[in-house]
A and B are shown apart, each in its own frame.
Chain A
Amino acid sequence: MPATILIVEDQADIRKLIRMTLEFEEYDLHEADNGAEGFRLAQALRPDLILLDVMMPGELDGYQVCEKIKKLPDLKDKIRVVLLTARGQQSDLEQGRKAGCDSYLTKPFSPLELIEKIEELLAV
């Protein structure tokens, strides 16, 4: 059974690019364009991994979605969270760790690096 990956990213072009990268890797892909929808889908789909943009407009940013997921007893160990950050500053990484993320990627990210990171996290 293919692993389920949820892509939570407000920029349509980046979502499309991620999808293009992963579509040959035999994952079941789903998308959300904001944090609130991403959290809702995370609860509904219970994906194996979430690619989560940090800076999104609206009620929930990526850190908050990550925190909320990692607080849910039935999801926190099931879902791996990879934060996508445009800045990669130390404070952002610290913030990500505090939110409980499993890994992060800095935009613009290498598609190969994305694939390898997903494989590494799903293998655990």
Chain B
Amino acid sequence: MASAIQYLLDSIKDGIMIVNLAGKLVFANQSARQSFPGQLQIIAEHADLKKAIADAATGKVNLPINVRLSIGTDALNRTTLVGTLIPAPNNVDYVYIIHAGLRSDEYTNSLHNFFELIRQELRQPILDFLKLIAPQQSDQSPVTDHAKEIINRLEKLIDVVEIFGDDALISDDRIVVKDLVTDVWKELAPLASNRRVEASLVGFNTDLPPIYGSYNWLRRAVRECLENAIIHSRQEISNSLKSHVEIRAKQSGQHLMVIVRNLGVGLLPKLADRVFLPFNRAGLPKASPTHGMSIGLPLAQRILELHGGQIRINHSNDSATELTLELPTGAPQRDSTKLDIQQAQRYAEDLAKLMVRRKKRTTSMNPPA
């Protein structure tokens, strides 16, 4: 196979196997080779795959078709491959594209299991520990503060996995942005007070359209952005001055923008995009006072993307950093098929009564002579 084509196929994350009519493996890409070392010929000769190929060759089925293969001899090592069979470009062989059952899926499952472990084995014991020590500690004691900080970081890690997974939960809460931002600022008040940062809300008038989505996740996103602004605000030397964060709301057509602006430590423009990469600290040294896990902004961006929005970061010459959160207004377009069917059923149920009603009206309007 030409090296360019092979390079192309190797860069595809799905497993690709090219199999001939006799069930012989002609080619397998890197993903397939890595996921099923020593098993590729067994897969190529799998009875279900051979049957699918034979049916396609005789015209019994039209390609593409989905083909599921169960490989492995017992429950411990059984894997189900989910793939699609298509004709190969040479019109002689067949291509089996493996979508699921790959080693990358195992990795994703392991990551999910790992974070579930954190949730069960770490987070809950810390919460229980907090309850135990609560009578002996005040709410503001260093022990309680540290425990809460650990829980906060654990929850952030867990949220990252959930939101980047395929099953991220999005609901259709109706959200008034002013209420959301105000609630979040209240939560962050102790941090803001500690760092002598105050905020002003601009443009949050009652005419602003609502947004629809998951209140909890959007609250999380706004929290990450405001927390970022507080932590990175310039610390003034004079005791009489406080740092300032401006939170502005603006409607632009069918989008609502929340712009968080702060004068801060500054961010090199070339590093601006890296702040949205998880676990990337945008070039800051580990000893930096703003040390963190660098997952807050990536998490916020992902949440907004799932809501049809985005976050942009701008940095101006006066060291002001602006985070712009943009979200579509109004309810999202939804698949209304189920509701339409239910509504049609209600109409059908009432149809007989509607017909009787109409007949009565017609008779009363045109009484018989």
Contact = CB atoms under 8 A, between A and B. Distances in A.
Contacts of B209: 59-61, 64
Given A24-B361, A60-B330, A61-B330, A14 B343 contact: yes
B340 interface: yes
B332 A57 contact: yes
Interface in B268-304: none
Interface string B180-212: 000000000000000000000000000001101
Contacts of A60: 209, 330
B336 to A, nearest CB: 5
B347 A107 contact: no
A59 B330 contact: yes
B148 interface: no
Contacts of B78: none
Contact of A55 (B172, B346, B354): B172
Interface in B330-357: 330-333, 336, 339-340, 342-347, 349-350, 353-354, 357
Contacts, number: 79
Contacts of B329: 58-59
B343 to A, nearest CB: 4
Given A21-B354, A57-B332, A95-B174, A86 B347 contact: no
Interface stretch (A44-52, A72-80, A108-116): A108-116
Nearest to B344: A17
Contacts of A57: 254, 328, 330-333
Contact of A112 (B254, B330, B345, B350): B350
Contact of A108 (B212, B328, B339, B357): B339
A35 interface: yes
A41 interface: no
Pick the most buried of A63, A64, A108: most chain B CB atoms within 10 A of its CB.
A108
Given A56-B331, A61-B331, A64-B209, A111 B254 contact: no
B358 interface: yes
Nearest to A111: B350
Interface in B219-264: 251, 253-254
A107 B349 CA distance: 14
B330 A110 contact: no
B343 A109 contact: yes
Interface residues of B, number: 30
Interface residues of A, number: 26
Interface in A73-124: 86, 95, 107-112, 115
A11 B336 contact: yes
Contacts of B331: 55-57, 61
Contacts of A95: 174
Nearest to A114: B350
B330 A56 contact: yes
A14 B350 CA distance: 16
Contacts of B361: 24
A58 B347 CA distance: 28
A20 interface: yes
Pick the most buried of A17, A21, A60, A61: most chain B CB atoms within 10 A of its CB.
A61
Given A55-B172, A61-B330, A108-B343, 16 more contacts: A13-B344, A14-B339, A14-B343, A17-B343, A17-B344, A57-B254, A57-B330, A57-B332, A58-B329, A59-B329, A63-B174, A86-B339, A108-B339, A108-B342, A108-B346, A111-B347
Closest 9 CB pairs of A and B: A55-B331, A108-B343, A108-B342, A57-B330, A58-B330, A108-B346, A13-B340, A111-B350, A24-B358
26 contacts: A13-B336, A13-B343, A14-B343, A17-B344, A21-B347, A24-B361, A35-B330, A55-B172, A55-B212, A56-B330, A57-B328, A59-B209, A59-B253, A60-B209, A60-B330, A61-B330, A64-B209, A64-B210, A86-B339, A107-B339, A108-B342, A109-B343, A109-B346, A110-B349, A111-B354, A112-B350
Interface of B: 172, 174, 209-210, 212, 251, 253-254, 328-333, 336, 339-340, 342-347, 349-350, 353-354, 357-358, 361
Interface of A: 11, 13-14, 17, 20-21, 24, 35, 55-61, 63-64, 86, 95, 107-112, 115
